[in-house]
Structure 1
């Protein structure tokens, strides 16, 4: 019993972490395990969903992604999926997917950086780890880890959903509103540090709001904070982000990514 207690205590201590915004987290999954799951899930998605061959779109997305990921380091792979829905995602292990429909919606590099920065924010804050940690330790734990390679099954869909991929690839497992708001703040600072104009984030979310009023809801927004709340929060943080952009521009960071 003493050994068991000590092991539990060690697990709890190991699970205590802090997000980039200073929020206390409980995430005990090994990051290497999550990275492996992200890689497996991404390979499955590429195999089972059409990948865009549009050179202009691919270069545009890669240009924006490269500018953002230079700020966080590591190796990142980005793929444009030939999907008309307005969506994007990032997975542990440095994998980013962007839908062609989202590229059509944005007006410029700054608006695309808003979305991709938000998704990178989920990865930097280890949101998938937090969600997966809630499942591991139950009877689903090991099965979830193994199930990412079989997304056709209910368990496989749940596993991929927990990693942060949307409903068109499986069951929707939305990040909490706390996670979404945190990713907004991390993404806003990240795009500013890369030299993008953070003020365009407001325009982007206004465009997404308008798009969501159509016959079908925009999946990217379906589980997020209310549009007004999101925009108000971004506006409140905008002065700080604009200072970060000014510092980035002064350091010679001027992204030039053309749609």
Structure 2
């Protein structure tokens, strides 16, 4: 009864939210205000510790594409910012509240504005769907679960830390990582919709991810089930399905 009560209390601490476009119900233990504050704080750290690109034309290009997608995001309350970081890593991210950062490495892979919009839509989708807050909520609930089960099973105190570590590994593979892959699929779907709504060509998303797949084949990657990102073939197939589901433009 104590175990059930503690788990129920952990669940009740959270609330429910719904993702845009996919309308998936989410478990949240982080408020929107907390999330926005975290995003603003982390953005300042990124700006202080990263070297921003001095290529004004590139900065303007990313900002133009970002603003066009932000305009159809339905989040006029976000303080949208778009920055390019001088870094060869093929990466981009969007912090809560609309702080978007592109690395020059990923811009070398994107062959045109539509492909940049593919990345932009995907990263903005993560922020719109509050994936960061959801992941943090699940991790918090997971940590509570580890402590509760260790107590309920009467595990000696000297072994509880070891158990918690083992539980963390189990929950990481069994819960957190699959949800990370779910978030990636969801961000792909929402991102495709956003770029289409903003007037970009979603077919170019296939070209971009094919380029990324070729890049990944030349590098070492963990098995798909241990990766936070879906397998390339799976991702491209699902994106093709998302594109087919889009309304026909008149």
TM bucket, shorter chain: 0.7 to 0.9
Secondary structure at 2:217's aligned position in 1? coil
Distance 1:196 1:22, change over 3 A: same
Q: Deviations over 1:45-79 (max 9, x none)?
A: 11011111111110110111011000023230111
Q: Which moved more, 1:187-196 or 1:122-131?
A: 122-131
Matches within 5 A, 1:154-193: 176-193=180-197
Aligned to 1:68: 69
Richer in helix (by share): 2
Aligned to 2:241: 236
Aligned to 1:113: 117
Q: Would you say 1:59 and 2:60 are equivalent positions?
A: yes
CA contact (8 A) 2:14 2:30 kept: no
Aligned to 1:147: none
Provide the TM-score with structure 1 as the length reference: 0.72
Aligned to 1:12: 12
Shift of 1:239: 2.3
2-structure distance, mates of 1:32, 1:85:
31
CA contact (8 A) 2:184 2:229 kept: yes
1-structure distance, mates of 2:16, 2:219:
43
Task: Give 1:104's match in structure 2, choosing from 102, 108, 112.
Answer: 108
Matches within 5 A, 1:73-84: 73-74=75-76, 75-84=79-88
Matches within 5 A, 1:184-223: 184-215=188-219, 223=228
Shift of 1:133: 1.4
Shift of 1:16: 1.5
Shift of 1:33: 0.7
CA contact (8 A) 1:17 1:26 kept: yes
CA contact (8 A) 1:198 1:241 kept: no
Once superposed, what is the RMSD of the aligned Cα atoms? 2.5
Task: Give 1:88's match in structure 2, choosing from 78, 89, 92.
Answer: 92
CA contact (8 A) 1:198 1:242 kept: no
CA contact (8 A) 2:28 2:134 kept: yes
Instruction: Give the number of the structure whose alpha-carbon radius of gyration is greater.
Output: 2
CA contact (8 A) 1:84 1:100 kept: yes
Structure 2 runs not aligned, ≥5 long: 145-176
Kindly tell me the number of residue pairs found equivalent between the two proteins. Answer: 203
Aligned to 2:149: none
Aligned to 1:160: none
2-structure distance, mates of 1:113, 1:16:
30
CA contact (8 A) 2:121 2:190 kept: yes
Secondary structure at 1:85's aligned position in 2? coil
2-structure distance, mates of 1:175, 1:81:
28
Shift of 1:217: 5.6
